[in-house]
Amino acid sequence: MSTLTASPLLSRHGAVEATGLDAGVAWHYGDPTAEQRALAQGRGVVDQSHLGVVTVTGPDRLSWLNSLSTQEVAALAPGASTELMILSPQGRIEHVAAALDDGATTWLITETAEGLATFLDRMRFMLRVDVADVTADWAALGEAVRAPAASGEPVTWVDPWPDVVAGGTTYAASTDSHPGALRPWRLVLVPRPDLDKEVDERLESGWILAGTWAAEALRIEAYRPRAAAEVDATTLPHELDWLRTAVHLHKGCYRGQETVAKVHNVGRPPRRLTMLHLDGSAHSLPEPGASVRLGLEDDAPVAGHVTSVARHHELGPIALAVLKRSTDPSATLIVPSDGGALSASQELIVNADGFSADRPPKVGPTMKGLLMGKGCAADGGDMPA
């Protein structure tokens, strides 16, 4: 996360600073329920100035990023929004970035700006690219809007979630409408010194300043994974249904591609993201990282762990959790909290069988090698357990 000082918006009336991943910006401004409703109605703005911003310039920037990342960006049109990942050689998620090119600069909005900039700078070699961490100069504002920037407006990234973009696929448990379709979201980049002024302009138009409590509750409801919350050292994109927006399965070679192809074509992800509906009779919530167990006993099997938690203005207490894929989808789970153990029911996000919507049909041994990623020679590592 960013090492920036606290946001100037914390001086606004009623502001309560967030802790944990969102430290430095407001958790809420005195009425989190009203803030959620305003955001859900498309008339709220959220301080996201704790996010990092990395820029890549130079004539080789798009082809270079295309060779390093999971996404097809070689021909990314000016103003078009996408999402990309940098994976380890074993296919684990290392960095995630919202990506947008304005014709001269590729903008990467990320929660790991320093690490991403360092990695990219190491990979420049003799190419005509320059990498800079510009977090100190630019701040992001979150808006419940799906529209791209008009001519003359600031650099704006529009979240593609939950669309299955070109080259992507889904591990969704249901083919019915996706709750993420009801959550438009974009990030608008403004000069950091202008943050107060930009917010005031929105408030003058009738919008409400909302905190991260509101934004996170709507994100969880939308099944939207967040790198700083849902990703750990072993996370595969398949486990979070993140091949929807951040992975192109048919592009050229990149680091970690072999594992991505293996899991998609002939394997199954070992874990799955799910939404938990928590017992609302208690006033406490579990902490991110809390274990999810299959029973009240101290030695009850651990099914996984909570990754994100919020109190939703309509759904009540909800959470995202990463569970073992084999966990019974109908099982009532137990999650500890400061106020005692909470029961939780599952709402499936990633299906329990571990197959994507377009998994290739089973083939004989002579064809298996053709399903590993178009002849990629990168060191993808072994099939994850």
pLDDT tens series, the chain, 385 aa: 445 789 999 999 999 999 999 999 999 999 999 999 999 999 999 999 999 999 999 999 999 999 999 999 999 999 999 999 999 999 999 999 999 999 999 999 999 999 999 999 999 988 999 999 999 999 999 999 999 998 889 999 999 999 999 999 999 998 889 999 999 999 999 999 999 999 999 999 999 999 999 999 999 999 999 999 999 999 999 999 999 999 999 998 999 999 999 999 999 999 999 999 999 877 899 999 999 999 988 889 999 999 999 999 999 999 999 999 999 999 999 999 998 999 999 999 999 999 999 998 876 654 444 455 554 544 333 344 4
Which two structure tokens, joined as six digits, stand for 116? 């991403």
Determine the pLDDT at residue 333.
97
0.75 exceeded by the pTM? yes
Cα Rg, the chain, nearest whole Å = 21
Q: Which residues contact 100 (CB under 8 A, 6 or more apart)?
A: 79, 80, 81, 82, 106, 107, 109, 155, 156, 157
Measured CA distances, 242 to 2, 15, 110 (Å): 24, 33, 16
Look at residue 175 in the predicted model and tell me its pLDDT: 84
Q: What superfamily does domain 271-348 belong to in CATH?
A: Aminomethyltransferase beta-barrel domains (2.40.30.110)
Q: Which amino acid belongs to residue 18? A: A
d(CA 76, CA 208): 34
**Edge-to-edge strand list for the sheet holding 105-110:** 81-87, 93-101, 105-110, 52-57, 130-133
Neighbours of 167 (CB within 10 A): 14
Residue of 241, 239, 230 lying closest to 271 (CA atoms)? 239
Fold classified for 8-230:
Gyrase A; domain 2 (3.30.1360)
The ranges assigned to domains in the chain are 8-230, 271-348
Residue 378 is predicted with a pLDDT of 41
Omega within 30 of 0 (cis) for the link into 162: yes
Measured at the CA of 119, the angle between CA 161 and CA 166, to 5 degrees, comes to 30
Q: Report residue 251 as tokens.
A: 């592009």
Instruction: Return the pLDDT at 280.
Output: 83
Say what the pLDDT of residue 381 is: 36
Strand partners, 311: 317
